[in-house]
């Protein structure tokens, strides 16, 4: 297998991936701020790094994958107060919903899933280091801020210069800051806030700012320098820029070697987001579309490209995935390891090693399916299943997929099977009108019948 190349946002180019420790990869991804249901944009982000995680493991690396949960934030506090519940009750409930939704999409759990509230001592230690290094100061309002202009490398991730950054664009103007560009490390407690979001510190009662949370959790779990840091493109600035500034400012050495950012999901040419109100929750989409179809739809676009969401695109993804499963239905095969010396596998690996290029990898799967349809080769069918499994698809039986059964669930439906049996009896009795009526009735409910030459009738959902 060829060398893996990753597009490193920090370098603005694809680079050969060389881990700090040979054979091992340390990866941190900014996870969810938990106060509402996850939407398709969130699914796209977690799917992108699920593929990275899977491919690194398929490539033989031992991966330590950390994806955090932000369980303290202005929006979380506001929502909990509105609901008349504790912060813990709100975040525990939506964490459970998140696990349900992304689990349905086949997104693997990370090796560690730290919650921000569990790492406040580590955050305070980092802030103390920044204060000692002359990069943090306590303002008149009690907040502790990071002094952006005192960190020489600020802007290296986003490519923004200090002169280009105008106060008020994406940064809150606060007259207590020395400079409008400065960002908060520690927020002074407000009387109106619940006691559960107040921690003691040398600067007084307060709570951490958003940016310091990820610095503390990543360094605690992965070490003070690690391989990969990822997240959505919207986090590149200011969140990841600020992470670099505060972490390198505190530790006085480089922080992360490779920065990876996935593209947005777009709806009507606008980014899908809660703030714009133009989003579909994962669970609402899964009421209408099979979870593997949604996964396949996301994987058909390169993770750095915009992804245009529409029902038509999901319908097309369903038809394409059905073609792959139909190939495996016609040429059944058990699961087996990938034969990486085989030609299709080499092309698949070449695509995935080129910055996780899933669209090209999936095109290879269709080429392989075409070959299977011609040759009826069981060996190639095993290869198709094995390659697809490295990116989390084609892991159900064809019958499970075609009949809409979840992974691990039994295919078939007793009511449908009974109607098919009644139709067969009607055909044997030459009651073709009744046979046609049953077929038509099933079709109105999205059930397609296929009469095989051996007299067996199979069915699938439209």
Binding site, annotated residues for ATP: 274
Strand order in the sheet with 226-232: 62-70, 24-33, 226-232, 256-262
Known binding residues are 30, 214, 239, 243, 274
Sign of CA dihedral 395, 399, 401, 406: negative
List residues bridging with 184 in a β-sheet: 145
Residues 6+ apart with CB under 8 A from 209: 183, 184, 185, 186, 187
How far apart CA 144 and CA 131 sit, in angstroms, is 9
Q: Which residues are annotated as a binding site for Zn(2+)?
A: 30, 214, 239, 243
From residue 207, give the alpha-carbon distance in Å to each of 35, 138, 212, 213. 17, 14, 11, 10
Of 408, 430, 405, 435, nearest in space to 419 by CA? 435
459: CB partners within 8 A, 6+ apart? 403, 416, 420, 442, 447, 448, 449, 450
CA 456 from chain centre, in angstroms, equals 41
């Amino acid at each position: 297998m060829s060398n893996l190349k990753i597009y490193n946002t920090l370098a603005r180019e694809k680079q050969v991936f060389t881990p700090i420790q040979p054979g091992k990869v340390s990866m941190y991804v900014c996870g969810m701020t938990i106060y509402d249901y996850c939407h398709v944009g969130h699914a796209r982000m977690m799917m992108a790094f699920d593929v990275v995680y899977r491919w690194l493991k398929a490539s033989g690396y031992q991966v330590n994958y950390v994806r955090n949960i932000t369980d303290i934030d202005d929006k979380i506090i506001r929502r909990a107060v509105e609901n008349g519940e504790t912060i813990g009750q709100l975040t525990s409930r939506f964490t459970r919903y998140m696990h349900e939704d992304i689990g349905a999409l086949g997104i693997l759990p990370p090796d560690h899933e730290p919650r921000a509230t569990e790492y406040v001592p580590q955050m305070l230690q980092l802030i103390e280091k920044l204060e000692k290094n002359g990069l943090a100061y306590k303002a008149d309002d009690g907040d502790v801020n990071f002094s952006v202009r005192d960190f020489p490398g600020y802007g290296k991730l986003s490519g923004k210069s200090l002169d280009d950054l105008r106060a008020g664009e994406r940064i809150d103007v606060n007259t207590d800051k020395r400079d409008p560009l400065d960002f908060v490390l520690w927020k002074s407690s407000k009387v109106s806030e619940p006691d559960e979001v107040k921690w003691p510190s040398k600067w007084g009662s307060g709570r951490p700012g958003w940016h310091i949370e990820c610095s503390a959790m990543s360094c605690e779990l992965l070490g003070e320098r690690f391989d990969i840091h990822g997240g959505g493109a919207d986090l590149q600035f200011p969140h990841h820029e600020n992470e670099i500034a505060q972490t390198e400012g505190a530790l006085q050495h480089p922080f992360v070697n490779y920065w990876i950012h996935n593209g947005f999901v777009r709806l009507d040419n606008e980014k899908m987001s809660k703030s714009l109100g133009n989003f579909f929750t994962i669970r609402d989409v899964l009421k209408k579309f099979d979870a593997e179809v949604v996964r396949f739809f996301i994987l058909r676009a390169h993770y750095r490209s915009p992804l245009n969401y529409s029902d038509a695109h999901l319908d097309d993804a369903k038809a394409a995935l059905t073609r792959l499963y139909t190939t495996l239905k016609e040429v059944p095969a058990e699961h087996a390891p990938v034969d990486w010396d085989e030609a299709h596998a080499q092309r698949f690996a070449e695509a995935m090693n080129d910055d996780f290029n899933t669209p090209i990898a999936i095109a290879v799967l269709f080429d392989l399916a075409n070959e299977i349809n011609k040759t009826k080769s069981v060996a190639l069918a095993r290869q198709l299943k094995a390659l697809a499994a490295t990116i989390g698809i084609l892991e159900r039986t064809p019958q499970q997929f075609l009949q809409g059964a979840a992974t691990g669930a039994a295919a078939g439906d007793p009511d449908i099977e009974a109607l098919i049996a009644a139709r067969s009896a009607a055909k044997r009795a030459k009651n073709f009108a009744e046979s046609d009526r049953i077929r038509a009735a099933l079709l109105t409910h999205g059930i397609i019948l296929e009469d095989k030459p051996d007299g067996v009738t199979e069915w699938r959902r439209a």
